[in-house]
Structure 1
């Protein structure tokens, strides 16, 4: 094994700088990310007329570290990168952005931070190309909630009672792409699935006619997709306790109605609780909430139907 010469890298030096330097951007997406990051640091430093020495003194980091950072070398520490950003007076997210922001983005961001709720809603309407003054088609209902909430079961019942079309978003994604959701995740990953989910939802939002839509439990994970759902559909959160979610999914699996079986362990319950806690503030953005705990399907379906009819107004005729 070749001997190592020179001093041991300091705590503020990127890890693995030598190996990263030998990687080509075309072959290694991580090397490409580091190269873009380094270029952004160089550009922002130059715009602020800061030398490496000045940035080193302001951030408390070595000039060698800054040179390696700007050269796209090493596995960058987020804490040290934050110190670089603070020293230059820029936002950390601007250094880490997936794509280059347009020149006016800093101005828009500052204006949005100072805007009130009505101004933000108007900005979203303009940027999305939505029609003025609307909250989406009146005869459109979307059901959200964790897996096992009853979205498909209750959605079908509601659609039948109202004389509307029932659509499951995941089945629509599968139909459009010729692959199951599980296959999409396995082959292309979650990022691609979320992109396909947004595209399918956008096309459904533009489809004419009344509709009941059952969504995937994780649709709230992508802000743009979820906002599109909220603005295009009367959205109802079907809420239940974690224990009920697990019990229902196990029942579905036993009947062959669920693609995967829920593990019989305390870990599964803890995982469901954690997911529910993290998603509850997002689910709570729905226009209405129905608690399905300790209730039969018939009872919940009756409340859901009444809720939708109340939303549509007394003049609505079923199937109209």
Structure 2
């Protein structure tokens, strides 16, 4: 059974949005953004909401239920028709010459040092940021910058990519233990993944997931690890995986993902959706940028299982400097 978990829940209801006050004119010196700019801002906000929803593998209905917000209201937000009070925040941020993130506040705005670090990084490209992340990991002792020779091989990707099947074959070939991280999560929790989510929520599931990965890293200096598909949604856990494992993204077309999940007789991620394929495509699009952080990738849609395994085997053996 594949170890990927795509279904998520537990969003916090948005109680912070207040009605826009229209009775007062804007104070002198504070210019209201043009209509076109407003629309662009709301559209971008909607895009971020959709991207976050897809990354977590949630349908709009699931988010609506978890957030206690009407599905119509959520749809309006996603299509750039969000609550106009958001625009007030944009106006104030412009008046104060700061970013909207700084105005709303997060950890990167909590101290002067955080602000200076963010200023240094915000214009850097992805390759530069990766070098910085690795350097910081080495400085803080949270992970090695060189995972090329790390003998823990972690397979990432959506459910149906072939992680369980190819992972078991690779582990046998290398003589390494094979670890299904989902099974380790269930051992920690004492119940199934679906029960964890239903009884305790997604936040609890993520904590079990992180503990399972930490213990796997501590116990196994050599292993092939099949990871849940949604692991990349938690930055701390994903960063730990990247720091302590040789990572391989098993890619597949959405149609192949769906076909393989159907063959397993389990459609949990799509159980409440009438547009299963569109949902799956959205999830894949939302996570692709994270999956692409893997050091290697194998496309399992363009070749047979045997050829996919041979490609994976050769790639990993070269990475670990083992005979091919």
If the TM-score is normalised by the length of the shorter chain, which range does it land in? 0.5 to 0.7
> Equivalent residue for 2:143?
130
> Equivalent residue for 1:68?
none
- Distance in 2 of aligned mates of 1:102 and 1:284: 32
SS in 1 for 2:210: helix
When the two chains are superposed, the root-mean-square deviation of aligned CA atoms in Å is 3.3
Residue 214 of structure 1, aligned match among 205, 226, 245: 226
Deviation of residue 59 (structure 1)?
3.7
Residue 167 of structure 2, aligned match among 135, 155, 171: 155
Q: What 5-or-longer segments of structure 2 have no aligned partner?
A: 1-11, 19-23, 33-82
> Equivalent residue for 1:82?
90
- Distance in 1 of aligned mates of 2:314 and 2:115: 46
> Equivalent residue for 1:47?
none
User: How many residues were matched structurally?
Assistant: 252
Deviation of residue 234 (structure 1)?
1.1
Residue 276 of structure 1, aligned match among 280, 284, 289: 284
1:153-200, CA deviations, whole angstroms, 9 ceiling, x for partnerless residues? 111111112111111122111111223221222233333323332332
Q: In 2, are the aligned partners of 1:250 and 1:261 still within 8 Å (CA)? A: no
Deviation of residue 274 (structure 1)?
1.9
> Equivalent residue for 1:243?
255
Q: What 5-or-longer segments of structure 1 have no aligned partner?
A: 1-28, 38-52, 62-74
Deviation of residue 103 (structure 1)?
4.2
- Distance in 2 of aligned mates of 1:143 and 1:202: 16
Q: 1:275 to 1:177 in 2, by over 3 A?
A: same
Larger Rg: 1 or 2? 1
> Equivalent residue for 1:176?
188
Q: Which has the higher contact order (CA 8 A, sep 6+)?
A: 2
Q: 1:102 to 1:173 in 2, by over 3 A?
A: farther
> Equivalent residue for 1:67?
none
The two structures have a TM-score, normalised by structure 2, of: 0.67
Deviation of residue 112 (structure 1)?
2.7
Q: In 2, are the aligned partners of 1:246 and 1:262 still within 8 Å (CA)? A: no
Greater mean deviation of Cα atoms: 299-308 or 187-196? 187-196
> Equivalent residue for 2:245?
233
Q: Does 1:109 align with 2:118?
A: yes
Greater mean deviation of Cα atoms: 85-94 or 141-150? 85-94
1:1-320 equivalences under 5 Å are: 34=16, 56-59=27-30, 77-97=85-105, 101-113=110-122, 116-117=128-129, 118-127=131-140, 129-131=142-144, 134-135=146-147, 138-253=150-265, 258=266, 260=268, 267-293=275-301, 295-314=303-322
- Distance in 2 of aligned mates of 1:168 and 1:301: 18
- Distance in 1 of aligned mates of 2:96 and 2:270: 49
Greater mean deviation of Cα atoms: 151-160 or 78-87? 78-87
SS in 2 for 1:218: helix
Q: In 2, are the aligned partners of 1:143 and 1:213 still within 8 Å (CA)? A: yes
Q: 1:136 to 1:199 in 2, by over 3 A?
A: farther
1:217-253, CA deviations, whole angstroms, 9 ceiling, x for partnerless residues? 1222223322221221111111111111111111111
Q: 1:265 to 1:175 in 2, by over 3 A?
A: closer
Deviation of residue 58 (structure 1)?
4.1
Deviation of residue 263 (structure 1)?
5.8
SS in 1 for 2:268: coil
Q: In 2, are the aligned partners of 1:198 and 1:225 still within 8 Å (CA)? A: yes
Q: 1:201 to 1:265 in 2, by over 3 A?
A: closer
